[in-house]
Structure 1
Amino acid sequence: MGRGGRSRTQRKHFRQNRENEWKRSKSDPNASETQTTPWTPFATANPSFDAYYKEQAVVAPDEWDQFVAFLRTPLPASFRINSSSLFADDLRSQLENDFVHSLRAVVPEGVETEAIRPLPWYPGNFAWHSNFSRMQLRKNQTLEKFHEFLKLENEIGNITRQEAVSMVPPLFLDVHPDHFVLDMCAAPGSKTFQLLEIIHQSTKAGSLPDGMVIANDLDVQRCNLLIHQTKRMCTANLIVTNHEAQNFPGCRLNRNHEQMELDHHINQLLFDRVLCDVPCSGDGTLRKAPDLWRKWNSGMGHGLHSLQVLIAMRGLSLLKIGGRMVYSTCSMNPIENEAVVAEVLRRCGGSVKLVDVSSELPQLIRRPGLKKWKVYDKSTWFVSYKDVPKFRGGAILPGMFPSGRLDNSNRNVDMGDIANGANGNAEDCIQAVENPVMPESVEEVSDLPLEHCMRIVPHDQNTGAFFIAVLQKVSPLPAIQEKPKIDVGGKCAEPANHSLQDAQVLQINSSECADEEILEEASEENVNDNEPDTEDLEVSPVPNEEDSKETEEPHNVQNVEKKIPGKRKLQIQGKWRGVDPVVFFKDEAIISSIRDFYGIDEKFPFSGHLVTRNDDTSHVKRIYYISKSVKDVLQLNLSVGQQLKITSVGLKMFERQTARQGSDAPCAFRISSEGLPLILPYITKQILQASPADFKRILQDKDVKFDDFADAEFGKNVANLLPGCCVLTLAKGNEVATESLKVDESTIAIGCWRGKTRLTVMVTAMDCQELLERLLIRLDTENGSNGHVDKSSINASEVQPLPELNGGNEDDVKATVS
C-alpha cells in the first residue's frame, strides 16, 4: 500500500518509529547490568479488535480461533525471482534442486513439512514461500547460507523480498508489454518492480517494450525508496513522480497545442492499467507489525475512507475506456474495502463495472467480498446512515454504508436540540447522543456485486490479509453535478458525488473532513522486507542526480519565491523548485564521440532518447536513455507546462569518467553497468570475448596485467584496445570468437577499464560475487565440482578503491580486492 494522501498528517505518522519486527528491544546502554529491564513480548490481543471483526463477520464464527491464532504468529518470509533476470532460471533451479532438500532438516516443529516451496498460484514457480520468519532467518546459524543467498540476490536485483499477498494485485491487472501503467501509491516499489518485470518479460536483447510505468508517491523520502528498489531493474521504461495521488496531473493538451511541431504521439496522459494500492489502516499486516495490536482502533479506517474514494476516482478518470484498475488495501476493514468500492461504483454509474476474476489464478485461495457490514462510532453500531446523529455527520458518511443512501428524514438528534441543550443542559444532551438508544433498523445489504471483490485471510494459505477489487472502465465517466456540502455544526460533510470528467484535471481539495488524530494513526505501507521504514517525513530534499547534493523541495508552487539557504544554485524543473530539470541531450559532438569510440550501430536510436538532469549540458556527468513511450510522455509534459514532478527517469547509460587516469581516454564517457545490457548488441568496438578461465580471473582478481591472462592471444587483444572503457563478454564453452561476436539474451558481459598495463573490472564487489556464484555453479558442475565459491577471495571487508580509477565519481565502479 503506498502513500497517496494528506501530506501533513502522513509526515506526522512516519515520524513515529513503528515497530515492524517481532524482535527484542535494545537495552539502554546507560543502564547498569543489574538494572536491565526484562524484555516483554508484544501484546497480541486487543478486545476492541476482536469485538469489531466478530461483529463484521469477516470470517465464520467457527473459524475465529484459527484466524486469530495465525494473526498472532510471525509472518513467514517470502520472495519473488525477477523473471526477466539473466539468471532467473538458474535461481529457480538452485531453489528447487538445492535449498528445497538442504533445508528440510531445519523445518520448525508443528509446521509444514517443506522448509521452502513455490507459491502454487504464482506463474512459473517464480515466487517462493518459506516457513521461516525474518527473525529466524537472521538468527538461525543453520539458515546462514540461505539467508546470505537472499540478501545477495535481493541487493543485485535478481529477487525481491516481498510479502506473498503483496504480489497478488499486479497479477490481476493483466498487464501487456505495450501498456501504459500508473502505480498511484507506489513506494517502496515492490509492486512497481513486478509491473516492470511483466512489461519486459518477452523483450529481446537490445530492444525495449512499447509500454511504460509511471510510479508515483506522495512523499519524497519514500520516492527515494522507490527509486532504489526499481533501479535494480535497469529499465528505460519508468518515470518516478512525486504527487498526491488524488491530484495526479492529467497532462492534457488543449486544442491550441494539438498542432504543435513537437514529435509527440499522445495529447493526453491516459493509462491502459492503473494500480490503486491506497493508504490504509494496515491491520492486515499484524503478523509482520505486531505493534499494531496495541495501536488498533476502529476509527482508523473511518479517517481514510474519503481519501481512498478520491484516489480511486482519480485513478478511474485517468484510465482509458476498456482499461482495468485494481483497487487494493492491506486492511480487513470493510469501511476501507467494500464501502470504498461500492461508493466508487455509485459515483461512476454504469461507466465502471466490477470484474469477476474468480477463474483467474485458481490456486489462490480467496473469499468473496462482503455484501453487508455495519459502521461503528462512539460505542454504537449503525446499520444505516439515517440512524447517525447529525453532529456525527462530518465523521460518518453515507458512502460508508452498504446502500450509500443519504436520508435525513429520520435522524435521531436535531442540531437545534444540541445547541439549546436537553432540559436546558447542552452537556447532558451531548452525553445522551453519544450512546443513543437505537430504533429497530433493517440491516442494509448492498445491491452491487461486491462478491466479486476478493478477501485473502491469513489462515487459508499462511499469509497476511489483503483486499483486492478489479474494476473495468466501459464508458466515459459521467459528468455529475457537484452538490453543495452540508454544513453540520461548523464541520463539512461530503454527501455528494464530485464531478469527474475524463478529459479534465481535477483539483480536488485534499483537506478532507477526516479526524487528524485518526489519520495520524493510519498504518504505514507493509514495506518490503528488505527496505527500512521511513521515520521522518518533514519536507525533504529531492536528491540531485548530478552531484548528489541535496536541495529543498517546496510544498507547493507558491514557495518558488521563498529564499532557501544552500551552497549551490537551486535546481528547477519547470514550476517544481528543488527538482532537477529533465533536459533532452542534443550535444552532437559528445554523441558522435561515443558512437565512434564504441562503434555503436546506427540502428540503435539516439536521437530524442537521451536525457540529462542538468540545465548546463556542457557539464553533464550522466546521460540517461529513455524508451519511446517515456519520450512521448516527456514531450507531452513539456508541452503542458511540466505538470509532472519527476524525481527519476530513464536508464543511466553513459557516465563521464572524471578520474585523472580517465583523461587519457579518447572518449570522456564510459558505459554504465545499468545500461550495458541494452546497448550491448550494438557495440562493435572496444569489446572482446573472454574464455571462462580469463573471465573468472578478472572477476576474482579485479585487476589483471595484460601478460597474466591464461590466453596470451586474449591478453594481446586487450593491449590493442584504445585506453578507456571496454566490454568483456563470456564465451560459451572454451571456444573464443575471433571474428564478430554474437550477442543474445543469455550473453554475460561486464564493463572494464583498459589502463596502461592492466585491465580493471568496473563492477561492484557484490556484482562480482554474484557473477562468480552463478558461473561456478554453471561451469564447475560440469567438472564434477559442487559449484561452491570460495567467498574469502571476494570478502567485502578486503576490498579497496580501484587503483586506476581512484578519485572518480563513479557509483558502480566501487571496489577491487587488494
Structure 2
Amino acid sequence: MGKRSRQRQKNQSGGRDRDNAGWGAGYADIVKENKLFEHYYKEQGLIPEGEFEQFMEAMREPLPATIRITGYKRYPDEQAWHTNMSRKIIRKSPLLEKFHQFLVSETESGNISRQEAVSMIPPLLLSIESHHKILDMCAAPGSKTAQLIEMLHADMDVPFPEGFVIANDVDNKRCYLLVHQAKRLNSPCIMVVNHDASCIPTLHITSDGKKDILFYDRILCDVPCSGDGTMRKNIDVWKKWTTSNSLHLHGLQLRIAIRGVEQLAVGGRMVYSTCSLNPIEDEAVIAALLEKSEGSLELMDASADLPGLKWMPGVNSWKLMTKEGQWYSEWSEVPAKRHTQIRPTMFPPNDPEKLADMHLERCMRILPHHQNTGGFFVAVLLKKAPMPWNKRYPKVICQKKTYQTFCFSSLTISLCCSAEEGAAVAQGTVTQQDGVCGPPPNKKMKLFGYKEDPFVFLTEEDPVFTTIQSFYDLSPDFPKLNVLTRTHDGKKRHLYMVSKELRNVLLNNSERMKVINTGVKVWSRNSDGEEFGCAFRLAQEGIYTLQPYIRSRMITVSVEDIKVLLTQENPYLSKLQDDAHAQAKKIGIIVLKYIPNPNNPIDPQCPIQLCGWRGKTSIRAFVPRNERLHYLRMLGVEVFREKQGQGQKPSDGEKEGKGQEEEQPF
C-alpha cells in the first residue's frame, strides 16, 4: 500500500499500516460518509456502471485481515491467507485468543507477516530473481521490503544471494520500524538508508577494479499518496479527504518516479504503486513519466503475471477538481492564478496518437468490492534505453579537452573527456577513468535523526577473527572479508555479516549515503567463552547464514532434546538423551542441530539449528522467545498462555533477541 501525505504521517502515529483495532477515542464516532468523495469519483467514471453503490458499501466495511507466510513460493500458492474477520475481531474475541497469540508470536519471529492483500501485488510484479539489485524507494514500514528479501532467498541453500535490497525512507524514525521488519528475516542482503527518495544519491560500486555507477535491476516506487484506497482501515480518511490532497502530492510523486527510472538499469523493471484511486496520483504520473521518457520507457502488460487478480484497466481521460468544486478537463482551461497549484502534467496528453501509444489501459486499478480488498493502483515500467536527459551533453571548449556537461534530475556535473567518453558516462556504460577530470568534491552530507555507529569491516589479520576462524574451524571459502562491526574503538561487542555486493556498496559510498542498518548478527561477545578459547558465541539470528561454513562444535540432537532445551532455561546435561549428552561433554560453545528422519514422518521434516552454550553441569539454548515458541509449536508442545500469565517477567533466555513487543501487529 502507498504512503500517506507527509503531514498526515506526522499527525498519525501508526502511519499507513494502522488498522481498525488501533482506533483511539473518537474514531468510533466518525461517520463513514463524504459527499465530495462520492461526487468526485462518480464524475471520474472509474467505477463500472451500476457498481457504484457496491463500491461505496465495500468501502464502509472493515478490512478483512490477511497474512502472508514467509516462504519461498510466490503468492497465491497457498503462501497468503485471507480471512473474513477484521483485525479488531481477531484481537478482541476471547474465542480467538489462542489464534491471536499465534499470529503475534509468529509475526515477531518472522514466519508470517500481516500484510494487506493488495499490498502484496507490487513485489510480485517485479519478478525478482536472486541476483537482482533492488531499490525500495519509499520502504517504511517494510511489509513489501520483507517480500523482496524473501524472493532473493528463494534458494535456502544459498546463504549469500548475489542480489541485495536497499530499502530507503525519508522519515528517520520510520526507518527504525523498517529495520525491525527487515531484521525478522535475518538476511545479510538488506541495507536500510535514510534519504529523500526524490533526490536519492547515485551510488558507486567497484567492477573489475574500476568504479562504476550502480544501476538497479528492479525498483519499487511505492510513493506517498492521499490514501483514499485505505478508507476501510484508516477511518479518518473519511472526514479528511479532499481533492487538494492529490494536487499537493502529484509533483512529489512524479519527482520520485523520475528519480527511480534514472537509477534503473536498461532492461530493468520499475513498479509504480499507490493506495489511491485518484487518476491525478496514478495515470497522470505515469503519462507524464512516459512523455518525458521519449520512448525510453514502456508501460508493460503484466496481467499474465497474476492471472487470478481482478482489476480495472487504467483510463485515458480524467478531470481535475479544486477544493472549491471547480472542474478542469485540460490545461488550457486553468486560469493563470492557479498555475502554481495546478500543473500541465496533471492532465492527459492532448495528442490522441501519443496518448494511444502510452497504453495507459495496461495500468491496474484494484477496486475494493471486486475481491473484498483495499483500493490500489499499480503500473509496471520497462526501461528500454537511458533517459533522454542522460544522453544530452552540450560542449564547452577548454584548453586541454572538451568538457561535457551532464544534467541529472538533482545534479549537474562537468567532466573533462571526449564526446564519446562523455556519452558513455551519461548512459552509464562506463565511468571516469584515471586522469579524467571529475565533479567537485561533494559537500559533507547533512545528517538528521540519530547518529549511527560506523560500519567497520574486519581485516584478514584482525586477531579477533583469527581466533574465531580457528575455534569454529570455518571452511576456507568462508567470506571473512564480509564480516563487520559497529565500532572503531574498544572491544567489539557484536559481529555482523553482509553479502559481497553490499560490502561493495558500503565501501564505495560511505560519504554519499546515510546507512541506518545492514547485515545480520552472527557472533556476540561472551567473556565466559575465553576459558574455552573464544570470546564470541554464535548468535541465533545468523546461524542459518553461518552454519554451512562451520565444521566443528556441532551436536546432533533429537526432538526430545529440543523440547528440553526450549522449555527449560538451564537444563542439566543429564536431561539430554545419551547420544547428545556424550557429545555435549566435549564441547563448550555449540550448534545444536536436528536432522529430520524421513522414515519418521511424525517428527518435523525440516532441519532445526539452535545456538547453545554448555556450562560445567548444564546447557543453555540462546534462542529468542518467539522463535522458541515457533519451534515448540512445530514439535506439538502447547505454548498458549492465559491472560493472567502474560505479564510475567520473561526468563533470561527469553530476553535474548526479544525485539519490540509493544508493536503488536494484530
Normalised by the length of structure 1, the TM-score is 0.70
Matched position secondary structure for 1:175? coil
Pair 1:597 & 2:471 matched: yes
Report the equivalent of 2:484.
611
Distance verdict in 2 for CA 1:317–1:78, change over 3 Å: same
Matched position secondary structure for 2:610? strand
Distance verdict in 2 for CA 1:182–1:404, change over 3 Å: farther
> 1:86-128, CA deviations, whole angstroms, 9 ceiling, x for partnerless residues?
xx9xxxxxxxxxxxxxxxxxxxxxxxxxxxxxxxx93421011
Pair 1:66 & 2:40 matched: no
Q: Partner letter of residue 364 of structure 1?
A: L
Alignment of 1:165-184 (within 5 A): 165-184=118-137
> 1:471-506, CA deviations, whole angstroms, 9 ceiling, x for partnerless residues?
111011102899xxxxxxxxxxxxxxxxxx998654
Pair 1:327 & 2:272 matched: yes
Report the equivalent of 1:80.
68
Matched position secondary structure for 1:675? helix
Matched position secondary structure for 2:630? helix
Distance verdict in 2 for CA 1:310–1:730, change over 3 Å: same
Alignment of 1:247-646 (within 5 A): 247-252=199-204, 267-377=212-322, 378-403=324-349, 448-479=358-389, 506-507=409-410, 557=444, 578-586=451-459, 588-606=462-480, 608-616=481-489, 618-638=490-510, 642-646=511-515
Please report how far the alpha carbon of residue 732 of structure 1 lies from its aligned counterpart in structure 2 after TM superposition. Answer: 2.9
Report the equivalent of 1:114.
none
- C-alpha distance in 2, partners of 1:272/1:691? 44
Q: RMSD of the TM alignment (CA)? A: 3.4
- C-alpha distance in 1, partners of 2:16/2:134? 31
Distance verdict in 2 for CA 1:43–1:446, change over 3 Å: farther
- C-alpha distance in 2, partners of 1:796/1:503? 61
Q: Partner letter of residue 765 of structure 1?
A: R
Please report how far the alpha carbon of residue 22 of structure 1 lies from its aligned counterpart in structure 2 after TM superposition. Answer: 3.6
Distance verdict in 2 for CA 1:718–1:798, change over 3 Å: farther
- C-alpha distance in 1, partners of 2:256/2:4? 7
Contact 2:21 / 2:87 at 8 angstroms: preserved in 1?
no
Distance verdict in 2 for CA 1:249–1:671, change over 3 Å: same
Please report how far the alpha carbon of residue 174 of structure 1 lies from its aligned counterpart in structure 2 after TM superposition. Answer: 1.1
Distance verdict in 2 for CA 1:80–1:155, change over 3 Å: same
Pair 1:671 & 2:538 matched: yes
Contact 1:318 / 1:502 at 8 angstroms: preserved in 2?
no
Report the equivalent of 1:545.
none
Matched position secondary structure for 1:356? coil
> 1:653-675, CA deviations, whole angstroms, 9 ceiling, x for partnerless residues?
111125xx455442111111111
Distance verdict in 2 for CA 1:602–1:503, change over 3 Å: farther
Q: Partner letter of residue 165 of structure 2?
A: V
Matched position secondary structure for 2:387? coil
Contact 1:726 / 1:754 at 8 angstroms: preserved in 2?
yes
> 1:5-64, CA deviations, whole angstroms, 9 ceiling, x for partnerless residues?
97xx5774457999954469667xxxxxxxxxx995321110100111111111024110
> 1:210-261, CA deviations, whole angstroms, 9 ceiling, x for partnerless residues?
11110000011110010000101110011111000011111248xxxx8xxx
> 1:614-654, CA deviations, whole angstroms, 9 ceiling, x for partnerless residues?
122x422111111111122123324xxx2121101111111
- C-alpha distance in 1, partners of 2:92/2:151? 34
Contact 2:625 / 2:656 at 8 angstroms: preserved in 1?
no
Distance verdict in 2 for CA 1:287–1:11, change over 3 Å: closer
Q: 1:50 aligns with which of 26, 29, 38?
A: 38
**Which consecutive unaligned segments of at least 5 residues does structure 2 have?**
393-403, 413-442, 662-666
Matched position secondary structure for 2:128? coil
Distance verdict in 2 for CA 1:760–1:263, change over 3 Å: farther
Task: Choose 1 or 2 for highest CA Rg.
Answer: 1
Contact 1:692 / 1:734 at 8 angstroms: preserved in 2?
no
Q: Partner letter of residue 383 of structure 1?
A: S
Contact 2:2 / 2:274 at 8 angstroms: preserved in 1?
no
Contact 1:345 / 1:352 at 8 angstroms: preserved in 2?
yes
- C-alpha distance in 1, partners of 2:48/2:658? 54
When structure 1 is superposed on structure 2, of 643-652 and 684-693 the one drifting more is 684-693
Contact 1:369 / 1:455 at 8 angstroms: preserved in 2?
yes
Alignment of 1:707-726 (within 5 A): 707-709=574-576, 711-722=577-588, 725-726=589-590
Q: 1:696 aligns with which of 563, 566, 591?
A: 563
- C-alpha distance in 2, partners of 1:137/1:814? 21
- C-alpha distance in 2, partners of 1:651/1:274? 23
Pair 1:150 & 2:103 matched: yes
- C-alpha distance in 1, partners of 2:218/2:406? 17
Please report how far the alpha carbon of residue 286 of structure 1 lies from its aligned counterpart in structure 2 after TM superposition. Answer: 0.3
Q: Partner letter of residue 247 of structure 2?
A: H
Please report how far the alpha carbon of residue 142 of structure 1 lies from its aligned counterpart in structure 2 after TM superposition. Answer: 2.1
- C-alpha distance in 2, partners of 1:17/1:368? 29
Pair 1:230 & 2:182 matched: yes
Contact 1:801 / 1:814 at 8 angstroms: preserved in 2?
no
Please report how far the alpha carbon of residue 590 of structure 1 lies from its aligned counterpart in structure 2 after TM superposition. Answer: 0.9
Contact 2:300 / 2:362 at 8 angstroms: preserved in 1?
yes
Please report how far the alpha carbon of residue 200 of structure 1 lies from its aligned counterpart in structure 2 after TM superposition. Answer: 0.5
Query: How many equivalent pairs are there?
Result: 613
Q: Partner letter of residue 321 of structure 1?
A: V
- C-alpha distance in 1, partners of 2:587/2:646? 30
> 1:274-294, CA deviations, whole angstroms, 9 ceiling, x for partnerless residues?
000000000000001111100
Distance verdict in 2 for CA 1:5–1:318, change over 3 Å: farther
Distance verdict in 2 for CA 1:154–1:504, change over 3 Å: farther
**Which consecutive unaligned segments of at least 5 residues does structure 1 have?**
28-37, 89-120, 406-441, 483-500, 510-555, 561-574, 737-743, 777-786
Contact 2:566 / 2:621 at 8 angstroms: preserved in 1?
yes
Please report how far the alpha carbon of residue 141 of structure 1 lies from its aligned counterpart in structure 2 after TM superposition. Answer: 2.0
Please report how far the alpha carbon of residue 203 of structure 1 lies from its aligned counterpart in structure 2 after TM superposition. Answer: 3.5
Matched position secondary structure for 1:138? helix
Contact 2:570 / 2:620 at 8 angstroms: preserved in 1?
yes
Please report how far the alpha carbon of residue 189 of structure 1 lies from its aligned counterpart in structure 2 after TM superposition. Answer: 0.5
Matched position secondary structure for 2:77? helix
- C-alpha distance in 1, partners of 2:134/2:386? 19
Pair 1:649 & 2:518 matched: yes
Distance verdict in 2 for CA 1:157–1:790, change over 3 Å: closer
Please report how far the alpha carbon of residue 447 of structure 1 lies from its aligned counterpart in structure 2 after TM superposition. Answer: 5.9
Report the equivalent of 1:729.
593
Alignment of 1:97-108 (within 5 A): none
Please report how far the alpha carbon of residue 612 of structure 1 lies from its aligned counterpart in structure 2 after TM superposition. Answer: 1.6
Q: Partner letter of residue 147 of structure 1?
A: H
Q: 1:139 aligns with which of 87, 92, 99?
A: 92
- % identical aligned pairs: 38
Contact 1:322 / 1:472 at 8 angstroms: preserved in 2?
yes
Matched position secondary structure for 1:696? helix
- C-alpha distance in 1, partners of 2:4/2:605? 37
- C-alpha distance in 2, partners of 1:503/1:83? 44
Distance verdict in 2 for CA 1:82–1:163, change over 3 Å: same
- C-alpha distance in 2, partners of 1:347/1:172? 23
